[in-house]
Structure 1
Amino acid sequence: MPVSNSRLRRSRLSTALLVASLMPAAGAAFAQEAGSATELDTVTVTGSLIPQTQVENFTPVTVIKAEDIQMRGFTSVSDVLQQSTFQTGGLQGGQTSASFTQGADASGMFGLDPGYTKYLINGRPMANYPALYNGSDTFNNISGIPVDLVERIEILPGGQSSLYGSDAIAGVVNVILKKNVDGLSLNVRGGAYSDGGGDSFRVSVSDGFSSADGRLNLIGGLQYETRDPIWGYQRDLTKQYNVNGYTPATASRDYVVINGSNRNSYLFLDPANCGNVTGQFDGTEALQTRPGFGQYCGSFTTPGYRTLQNGKDALQIYAHGTYDVNDNVQLYADLLTSHEDVEYATGSGYTWWGTSAKYGYFYDPDQDAFLNLQRAFAPEDIGGEGFKDIMNTDRNRSYQITLGANGMLGSNWDWDVGFTRTEYKLTEHQWVRFADAIDNYFLANVLGPQLGTQDGYAVFRPNYAAFYTPMSPADFASFTGYVDTRSKTTDNTLRAQLTNTSLFSLPGGDAGLAVVVEGGTQSWDYTPDARLLQDPETLESEIWGLTSVNGSGDRDRYAVTSELRMPLWEPLTVTLSGRYDAFKVAGQTIDKPTYSIGVEYRPVESFLLRGKYGTAFRAPTLSDVFQGLSGYYSSDTDYYRCSLEGYTPGNTQDCRYDSEQYFGQQSGNPDLQPIEADVWNAGFVWAPMNNLSLTVDYFRWDIRDEVDQLDSDQLLLAEYYCRTGQANTASASCDNALAWVTRGANNELEQIYTPKVNVAKQKLEAVTASLNYTLDVGKWGTLNFAGNYTNNLKHTVTPLPGEDEIDLLRDPYYMWVYDAYAKTRADASLGWNIGKLTTTVYANRIGKTPNYVAYATGAWDGQINGARAGWWAPYTTYNLTFNYEATENIRLSLLLNNVLDKTPEDQASNFPGTEYTPYNNYLYSAYGRSMYVEMRYNFGK
């Protein structure tokens, strides 16, 4: 949309906020120049469709400019958003081994699911990631955005569906790529971690072109990056089982015979006393004893054979062009394409074989016991470079293309018509064990022929000497290999907007109106290798120990949006917006109207009071509707069977059913309805001087009819209460719990079904604040301060109708179950600009979170072996950057991230010795200090 040529007087509030938005990179000269400015163009900001002169309006927008990203040491767009103070919830990613989306980068706001945030690139929706977060939720992978080509990132918290439609419940993130460049620019960066791993190299190039008559303008850029993974063995905290825990460190059970006839104790049946396998895991395999269970062969160092940070090779190409047909019509085009290969290893803990998957238990008449064998694979079994040779690779290919035209209609109307297509293709190249091949190998070499059945279980007389024996790489290769899962999402949108910034006159100025009509199609297809899917009768797949999500579908959608901005009188402006969305899916129409009303009141020039009330929604995603019946293997506490042995919830660590394996199933539901929410915010902006501004805002959400993939642990807990008569067995929740948990003749856990249903509710309250200040210290340059703070005041969830609310900020157990919330988060930066040198210190603080014992006991006064429940202290990391303008064309940079080498090692003492991730890896990182050197050469200056 063309920018108005009218020049309007700038208020002190606008001037101060403009200066604040440019900190800390601006420097003294710019700050002094901005302070004397008196005029301002109309601008369009995220959160309104109508251009306006005020930088701040009824809804708060946080702007992170390219200079901020550079000065604060952020290495990627995901780094920016994951360190934002709005990111108070935990996230799955590279540190969460064997998650459904280990190769992707997610982000969210206020502890709500990542899919509750709407992500835009240049104002157009991003392509959804084809794989599902937690195996269930649609979200955006923010890894493939070229950070060197970002102009700014605008973060708009709060419900915004009345302007942006579905998904904008938590807020909106708009990543705006560069529209102008100052000639040819080359940027080269190299980096490494002080503790090893993660070496990276990045190069980006951008340039622009303008025709002689100025009618044609083009810019283009590319960014290439390569990064090595970080392995667990490269960090003291993750290279072995927890040696600082409240119980002695326990080695992995690499060769173990589990005696199901005696409380899951161990039988040690190796005539060589582990002597044949001591060369495995780099010579660390040995005879081990676990008190209360027995002996086995194991190693303390197996946790190190997994990646903590993904390796990747990525290339992004971006182009933007405009062509002025005449004074009233302009054509435009945008293209962003990304090719990214991400590699990771899930580690030894997910690289094994056992009899439980096929037989449950088997009966050995010589031992007169029901047994299970469990055997891990060592790097020596794999051969070559060990686990580096069986890494998984996610191949990401995506593009977004927009073609459109804008211009002026008459003297007051602006118009814009554009078509956008996004496409995301994902190929997951996954290492697997083939079920028949691996079972047949161990039948031939260890178990021997089946000798009948005993009480319904298979009977074997295993060769235990052969069980405790290494295998050759050729044998390992005979039952392993790779399968490819291919998935794809598309989104086609045709959008037309009419805007009039001077619709009619009011006492406070001209009213503005924007109307948008859009329509399009969306599709999702997730097609795993057929061998990953279960046979509907046997519930078995051709891949050992793995299952997959599957499904596909499409829908048509259309929407009408309007926004009316009315300056009722000089201090008071009211903005109304409304939107109607409709989705045609699975033979039915799902529609939802949303609205909002925003108020701005400026009693004096330097002070703004603001507020907004509205509704928001999230339509059932295509995966919510079309996800097929799919399965997974997992383990949880069997509360009911533990109760039969005298154990109660929160005190099951000694129960032999504390970690029972089961087969789970999940599926979509075509009858789902939209998630609905009432949202409102209120706050103020105070700018008493041109170089100082303070904002404070309060937010509240009331979210209903959430689509919830029932948590299996919660379901088992509900089933326990229902079976023991501690809950109303006539209630719907008990009916569901008893129907969705399947048990065998001996009450053994067999299967759990966790469907998607509109049942959950959430209530959330939060307050945010930001402070910006620039100080001119004369010959000593300029100091620039910026700080941000978020405090989640309340966050409750009601998983099922009729159940009590769960307090996610104060219940230590559920704070972990729901991805580990931090109640508060803050950051601050202090920049010093003097001459050609700019130095910035950036601090990021995660507030206190519950420790592991609090989670394990479910109580703040609990303790285990002297380790007490409580809180982990606030956690602060610091970045330090130096930027030096060596010449007019060359900028040299040194960036030290996590300069004090902070890691969550203090958390280890509050975990048991059986833990190989002795810290909360949803919120904290074990990566440590990193250093980057960078040179930017601008040929255009």
Structure 2
Amino acid sequence: MTSYTSCFKPSLLSRAVLSALLIPASVTAFAQEEDSSRVRDLGAVVVTGSLIPQTEIETATPVMVISAEDIQMRGFQSVADVLQQASFATGGIQGGQTSASFTQGAEAASMFGLDPGYTKYLINGRPMANYPALYNGSDVFNNISGIPVALIERIEILPGGQSSLYGSDAIAGVVNVILKKGVDQGEFSVRGGFFSEGGGNSLRFTFADSYSGMDGRLNSLLGIQLDDRAPIWGYQRKLSSTYNFDGYSTAVPSRDFVVIDALDSTYVFPDPNNCANTTGNFKGTTQQFTRAGFGTYCGSFISPGYRTIRNGKESAQLYSYTTFDLSDTTQLYAEVMGLYEKVEYATGSSYTWWGTSSTFGAYYDPRYPDTLLNLQRAFAPEDIGGKGYRDIMNTDTNKALTVTFGANGQIGEWDYNAYVSRAEYRLTENSWVRFRDPVDNFFIDKVLGPQQGWDPFYGAYPVFTPDYAAFYSPLTPEEFWSFSGFVDNKSRTWDNLAHIQLTNSSLFSLPGGDAGFAVVAEVGNEGWDYSPDSRMIEDPDTLVSEIWGQTAVSGAGHRSRYAVTSELRLPLFNTLTVSASARYDAFDIAGETVDKPTWSLGVEYRPVESLLLRGKVGTAFRAPSLADAFQGISGYYSSVTDYYRCSLDGYLPGDTDDCNWDNEQYFGQSSGNPDLQPIEADVWNAGVVWSPTAKLSFAVDYYSWKIENEVDSIGADDLMRGEYYCRTGAAGSPIAACDDILTWVRRDANGELVSLYTPKVNIAKQELEVVTASMNYMLDIGRFGSLAFSGNYTNKISHKLWSTPESEAVDLMRDPYYMWYYDSYSKTRTDASVAWSLGDWTTTLYANRIGSTPNYLAYAQGYGYEHSSGQKGAKWGPYVTYNASVNWRATDDLTFSLMVNNLTNKMPDHQAENYPGTSSTPWNNYYYDILGRAVYLEAKYTFGAK
């Protein structure tokens, strides 16, 4: 294997930064280092953000490093914990607390509030395979749940656009998870944990050992991580166990049995037994209630508790890295990563119900001659039988395998690294469903009775005379399972990649040192296939599937790609280094070539030994994803203003409140678009790093993004406005070509709106400005040991969004509605830690601070709004949680650890008073969690010293 050596003397700045990297939160190494001048000789190393090995740790590209010791001592249990609590994670994400999200079984992170798919994830410098299911039903992303956290050496995070080195997706930044290549001693650890509030018990086993043979020419690491954790149910936490009793309005129970007037949304109560037959449901809590202004129904306060707020999980992760020294200048290597993970979750009673609206729209009962009606009833645990909701949990089974074979070494003055890699990710979503015909026929036979014609108002709704006593009655488990069961949606992604890199760290000499050059060539192909259960696919004639209330998105496609990258690093003077990189990417999508060149130029200026001024400017992009291009047609129902028909009656856009066509129902369809162009971004950053001593360093950096051609589905309102412009010739810019718009808006022979087609198009743009700061300080306190301080801070100065080219900018940092709607942004976020080491003991206190965010009334009504209860539309104050840990090295081979996360058992329970009593989730579940205090105990044993 190529060995890089250097005779240079590390600068003060390099020593300070290197010390921070080598001596993380645990400060164990620092406690053993008596003389700070004896920092190990720093040879040329490869730092994420550059292809060229170099001697300076801090460059024009800021890098945040989270070491294995940081992960251990700060109590992080997974890669998701690490990234979701990082200071750059200023945007909320969908996950285990967001019931019925499209990827509830996966884990993601948002860098600076940008979409999860805008971050490039690497493992050992190679791209991760995409998750087969789509984030929010439309976007490709990486599931970071299956990375073996106990086998990580470090995680390197590069904020800012990095496409000139890493290609597509690296708009927000790059996360490189670097796994161990070997261990000095075999390791076995066992970790168990529990939550003080109940639920979520977990157990983790980790094994890692290295093998060496053939006189040291063959070296191999094998690592295994096994995890088992129980789910946390809503009823195990106060905030999620009931409807909101602490809100600004009276708590209102669920509508478990209700008959709704379809014309004015009030309730009819035809139960002859006044809910007496329903009282056994939800543990005997279902009763008769009257909601002011609406009417009487049967419901329960505790039904929200029957959902999971944290997924259960069983997983096995395998990792192996093997090298063989073929000669003094050539090394072969092989890497294998395998994942088997089963995640289970329940979406809750709000998504476990039946009603007439889905099938019939409404029905007419002659006994109520002045209106149309709808039945609606939830299914209780007693209806399900057995273990209740535990018997209808959804299960996502993940199977992933990545295999890499490569060689690296030297050819003359050039170093090379070449590999081929195959990654495949398979997902099976086993979901509980109601089968359309069986469930409708069951309630027709039991409740509705035979159809008796069509309604007298419109001639479009069926006439029934229901048996309401039968409707207000529980089911037997046999009846429940006669119309429900499970379906399997299967999907997969695969990615083949061949990569070769040539590097010369001493291309020629300059006054400041040797110039470095690297060139990379890549070629590969990738595919995506989402194949739902055939019963979930819509019938093209009826526009419904065999599953009641649900359809599924299908799609499949593949693309080939190639790329060429180069980087040049020029130390012009001892104080000035310039680096430049350029990359050309090309994709073959559906027979069409989509290509994009990107570039960057970086400057590092060191006027004195301890000070670095840096800056970088360039471009970034994201190619149309396979889902964007090949996602199949999916349907939905909604309503929209028919601007064209309103204009015929004299009502123009902006003045349609009194128009008869102001709220027209339609059937919508959306799909991918193979003609999409890349998302483009202009990016730059500038900053300063100062290290007044070898033990102290500060860094401040500014980042700017201008992102254009973002992919989004055309909004129904924009499409209808466009049709109005196209048909009338009125002043205004349609969202797409008029020929397309008039095809996408379907009307019947009478001009009634029938359906809309809203494909994905390049229409949106956004601009973002961010400032980050970091600090590291190490203090030797003599016989009392040593202390290490670390802190990171992010401030989003500005974030503006244009949803269409003609729309006005939305200020996502100041408009509370959009600040909440787009995944709940926080303006600032901070993390900090202090670690103390003394002899065989190390301890760390870690703090994480979320800055102010809009409260619910600000989101719903705006800042300054005041409810009659006294609650106001304002901001929630900063939210701080603490983790603490203690490590004790009992013997040379045995270490015990105690970790307490959320030490003070902090909960966002104060948020409930700003939500109405109708809320079942009275906290911002995109950004705050209600898991509470977690305690973990670990024992780690090392063996077989080498």
Deviation at residue 707 of structure 1 after TM alignment: 0.7
Question: What does residue 460 of structure 1 align with?
Answer: 464
Report the Cα distance in structure 1 between the residues aligned to 2:641 and 2:91, rounded to whole angstroms: 27
Q: Deviations over 1:426-446 (max 9, x none)?
A: 000011000000000011111
Aligned to 1:287: 288
Contact 2:235 2:242 in 1 (8 A): yes
Contact conserved, 2:719 with 2:735, CA < 8 A, in 1?
Answer: no
Give the distance between the partners of 1:658 and 1:374, measured in 2 at CA: 27
Output the amino acid matched with 1:71.
M
Aligned residues: 932
Is the CA contact 1:10–1:38 (under 8 Å) kept in the aligned structure 2?
Answer: no
Structure 1 partner of 2:852:
848
Q: Over residues 112-145 of structure 1, what are the superposed CA-to-partner deviations in whole Å (9 max), with x where a residue is unaligned?
A: 0000000000000000000000100000000000
Q: Are the aligned partners of 1:709 and 1:756 in contact in 2 as well (CA < 8 Å)?
A: yes
Please state whether the residue corresponding to 2:386 is helix, strand or coil: coil
Task: Give the superposition deviation at 1:39.
Answer: 2.7
Opposite residue 366 of structure 1, the aligned amino acid is: R
Conserved 8 A contact 2:244-2:922 = yes
Distance, in Å, in 2 between the alignment partners of 1:162 and 1:67 is 31
Cα 1:302/1:821, change in 2 over 3 Å: same
Give the conservation status (yes or no) of the 8 Å contact 2:722–2:735. Answer: no
Q: Residues 688, 223 of structure 1: CA spacing in aligned structure 2 closer, same or farther, 3 A cutoff?
A: same
Query: Residues 847, 743 of structure 1: CA spacing in aligned structure 2 closer, same or farther, 3 A cutoff?
Result: farther
Asked whether 1:8 is paired with 2:8, we answer yes
Tell me, in whole angstroms, the C-alpha distance in 2 between the residues paired with 1:718 and 1:112: 28
The answer as to whether partners of 1:348 and 1:377 remain within 8 angstroms in 2 is: yes
Other structure's SS at 2:142 match: coil
Superimposed CA distance per residue, residues 277-326 of structure 1 (whole angstroms, 9 cap, x where no aligned partner): 10001100000111000000000111000000000100000000100011
What SS does structure 2 have at the residue aligned with 1:458?
A: coil
1:277 alignment partner in structure 2 = 278
More displaced 10-residue stretch of structure 1: 900-909 or 739-748: 739-748
Closer, same or farther in 2 for the Cα pair 1:705/1:639, shift >3 Å? Answer: same
Question: Residue 18 of structure 2 corresponds to which residue in structure 1?
Answer: 18
Deviations 1:597-656 (A, max 9, x none): 0000000000000000000000000010000111246x7898999999x9x99xx9xxxx
1:522 offset after TM fit, Å?
Answer: 0.4
Residue 24 of structure 1: how far off its partner (Å): 1.7
Q: What one-letter code is carried by the residue in structure 2 that aligns with 1:758?
A: N
Match of 2:242 among 240, 243, 252: 240
Whether the 8 Å CA contact 1:231–1:308 is kept in 2: the answer is yes
Counterpart among 695, 709, 713 of residue 713 in structure 2: 709
* TM-aligned CA distance change 1:242 to 1:406, over 3 Å: same
Q: What is the DSSP-based 3-state SS (H/G/I as helix, E as strand, rest coil) of the residue aligned with 2:277? A: coil
Which residue matches 1:925? 929
CA contact (8 A) 2:19 2:39 kept: no
Secondary structure, aligned partner of 2:525:
strand
Question: Quick one: structure 1 residues 385 and 740, their matched pair in 2 at CA, closer, same or farther if it must change by over 3 Å?
Answer: farther
Give TM-score, length-normalised by structure 2: 0.94
Structure 2: tracts of 5 or more residues without a match: none
- Counterpart CA distance in 1 for 2:750 and 2:466 is 25
1:447 aligns with 2:448: yes
Q: Residue 792 of structure 1 aligns to which amino acid in structure 2?
A: K
Residue by residue, what CA displacement relative to the aligned partner does 1:756-778 show, whole Å, maximum 9, x if unpaired? 11000010000000000001111
Checking the alignment, whether the CA contact within 8 Å between 1:546 and 1:632 is kept in structure 2 is no
Distance 2:636 2:478 in 1: 29
User: In 2, are the aligned partners of 1:58 and 1:610 still within 8 Å (CA)?
Assistant: yes
Deviation at 1:836, TM superposition (A): 1.0
Q: CA–CA distance in 2 between the matches of 1:230 and 1:658?
A: 44
> Is 1:259 aligned to 2:261, yes or no?
yes
Equivalent residue for 1:907, pick from 886, 906, 911? 911
The residue number in structure 2 matching 1:866 is: 870
Q: How is 1:755-766 mapped onto 2 (pairs within 5 angstroms)?
A: 755-766=759-770
Distance 1:202 1:743, change over 3 A: farther
Structure 1 unaligned residues grouped into runs of 5+ = none
Query: Aligned in 2, Cα 1:642/1:146: closer, same or farther, shift over 3 Å?
Result: farther
- In structure 1, the residue matched to 2:431 is 430
Answering whether residue 489 of structure 2 is matched by residue 485 of structure 1, we say yes
Q: Is the 8 A contact 2:26 2:844 kept in 1?
A: no
Equivalences for residues 646-665 of structure 1 within 5 A:
663-665=667-669
**Paired residue type of 1:445:** K
Seen in structure 2, the aligned counterparts of structure 1 residues 338 and 387 have a Cα distance that, compared at 3 Å, is same
Assess, with a 3 A threshold, how the Cα gap between structure 1 residues 730 and 562 changes in structure 2: closer, same or farther.
Answer: closer
Match of 1:150 in 2: 152
Shift of 1:815: 1.1
Secondary structure (helix, strand or coil) at the match of 1:445 reads: helix
| Structure 2 counterpart of 1:333 | 334
What is the 5 A alignment of 1:107-186?
A: 107-186=109-188
CA distance in 2, matches of 1:26, 1:357: 61
Contact 1:497–1:517 (Cα < 8 Å) also in 2: yes
Alpha-carbon distance between aligned partners in 1 of 2:724 and 2:610, rounded to the nearest angstrom? 58
Alignment of 1:511-522 (within 5 A): 511-522=515-526
What is the CA deviation profile of residues 830-868 of structure 1, one whole-angstrom value per residue up to 9, with x for unaligned ones? Answer: 111111111111000111011111111144445465321
Secondary structure of the residue that 1:40 maps to in structure 2? coil
Residues 440 and 748 of structure 1, relative CA distance in 2, 3 Å threshold: farther
Equivalent position of 2:306 in the other structure: 305
1:281-430 equivalences under 5 Å are: 281-368=282-369, 369-410=371-412, 412-430=413-431
Stretch deviating more after TM superposition (18-27 or 45-54): 18-27
Name the residue aligned to 1:687.
Answer: 691
Kept after mapping to 2: 8 A contact 1:382/1:476: yes
Q: Deviations over 1:417-462 (max 9, x none)?
A: 1001110000000110000000000111111111111211111111
| Cα separation, 2, equivalents of 1:466 and 1:517 | 70
CA distance 1:70–1:400, change in 2 (3 Å): same
Give the distance between the partners of 1:663 and 1:425, measured in 2 at CA: 32
Q: Matches of 1:240 and 1:738 in 2, distance apart?
A: 48
Distance 2:474 2:719 in 1: 39
Q: Secondary structure at the match of 2:117?
A: helix
- Aligned mates of 2:241, 2:722 — CA distance in 1: 38
Give the residue type in structure 1 aligned to 2:735: A
**Structure 1 segments of 4+ aligned residues over 6 angstroms from their partners:** 635-644, 657-662, 716-723, 733-750
For 2:238 and 2:748, the matched residues in 1 are separated by 43
Per-residue deviation, 1:30: 4.0
Please point out which of 57, 60, 71 is paired with 2:59: 57
SS in 2 for 1:363: coil
1:363-762 counterparts in 2 under 5 A?
A: 363-368=364-369, 369-410=371-412, 412-454=413-455, 455=458, 456-632=460-636, 663-710=667-714, 731-732=734-735, 753-762=757-766
Inter-CA distance 820–663: structure 2 relative to 1 (3 Å threshold): farther
- 1:212 Cα offset (Å): 4.9
CA distance in structure 1 between the aligned counterparts of 2:306 and 2:725, rounded to whole angstroms = 42
Give the aligned partner of residue 785 of structure 1.
789
| CA gap 1:658/1:546 in 2 versus in 1, 3 angstroms | farther
Report the Cα offset of residue 40 of structure 1: 1.2
| Cα deviations by residue, 1:97-124 (Å, 9 ceiling, x for unpaired) | 1111000001120100000000000000
Per mean C-alpha deviation after superposition, the further-off stretch among 611-620 and 451-460 is 451-460
SS of the residue aligned with 2:367?
A: coil
1:811 alignment partner, one of 794, 815, 840: 815
CA root-mean-square deviation:
2.8
Q: Distance in 2 between matches of 1:861 and 1:717?
A: 32
Per-residue displacement from partner, 1:732-754 (whole Å, max 9, x unpaired)? 38979998787999999975644
Residue 910 of structure 1: CA displacement?
A: 0.8
Q: In structure 1, what residue type is equivalent to 2:699? A: T
Identical aligned pairs, as a percentage? 59
Please report how far the alpha carbon of residue 32 of structure 1 lies from its aligned counterpart in structure 2 after TM superposition.
3.6
Match in the other structure for 1:884: 888
Give distance in 2, aligned partners of 1:85 and 1:718: 41
Letter in 2 for 1:339: Y
> 2-side partners of 1:790 and 1:403: how far apart?
39
Mark the CA change 1:48 to 1:540 in structure 2 (over 3 Å): closer, same or farther.
same
